[in-house]
Amino acid sequence: MLGFITRPPHQLLSLLCPGLRIPRLSVHCVRPRPRAMAISSSSWELPLVAVCQVTSTPDKQQNFKTCAELVREAARLGACLAFLPEAFDFIARDPAETLHLSEPLGGNLLGEYTQLARECGLWLSLGGFHERGQDWEQTQKIYNCHVLLNSKGSVVATYRKTHLCDVEIPGQGPMCESNSTMPGPSLESPVDTPAGKIGLAICYDMRFPELSLALAQAGAEILTYPSAFGSVTGPAHWEVLLRARAIETQCYVVAAAQCGRHHEKRASYGHSMVVDPWGTVVARCSEGPGLCLARIDLNYLRQLRQHLPVFQHRRPDLYGNLGHPLS
């Protein structure tokens, strides 16, 4: 099933920013194995990204099979970079199972994704890998690690989730990520990719604008929030938080999400999407596993930043620097 979404606020933005060129790009939402689709030749010069939506379970090999199918479809459709959600590798039933299924970065599962990136010739954002770090023997805890692979399968960046989700939401059930996971010690500087300069984050991180502001001031053009939002917080906060992060940083925001029921104890909201720097949702996934596509127009981003130079107008002398630039 294919869907099309276009930017709606052309007239408003033209009034606010005379002379700003606003691209009228269509994007697509697809389920696995769609029929071939036409992409306008006028937009071929803009990089295409694919955002994958899956329903992970404790079955790691089945999860890999599902993700690999979507990544191969993204490559077939011409994407240069595919984004997978948090816990793309598995979602366990309890902390003990999480620790049992976890692997080091040098383990078999990441090796399969390395081979997949090489086979497909595209970059992969692996949004939240359950990593046994170098301190595994001492801590017996893991890291929630966002791994970025280039098209040769090399690891070019890793970011370990710094804000752990220890919350109790009525109607959604308690979550205590710190039972099995250590917080990451630092942020990762934005990374140059074929789609633009990417800042890495994970899920709950989106609630902390200081992080996104720090990444933007360090040069990020695309912020990533691979996630597994719940059924209560999802409808209330998911889209509004992503759009807020895009507007305040004037970045594209890419959010690959888990969806559906993983097992008897957990379900996720889904609604993977791409938001442009004006805050418009330019692509979103339908219900269930699948992918959506969007083109990244960095000229549009630069023009918007020129016409609305908010980073030049900040007053740290009055309220401090909410997001300190990365060193």
Active-site residue set: 86, 161, 203
Whole-angstrom distance, CA of residue 323 vs CA of residue 298: 23
Q: Are 149 and 124 spatial neighbours (Cβ–Cβ below 8 Å)?
A: yes
Strands 81-84 and 48-53: parallel
d(CA 96, CA 98): 5
d(CA 257, CA 55): 9
* Pure H helices in 28-94: 60-76
Q: Which of 274, 208, 260 is nearest to 229 (CA)?
A: 260
Tokens matching residue 77: 């459709």
Beta bridge partners of 29: 3, 292
Helix 209-217 crosses helix 233-249 at what angle (to 10 degrees)?
30
Q: How far is CA 63 from the centre of its chain?
A: 18
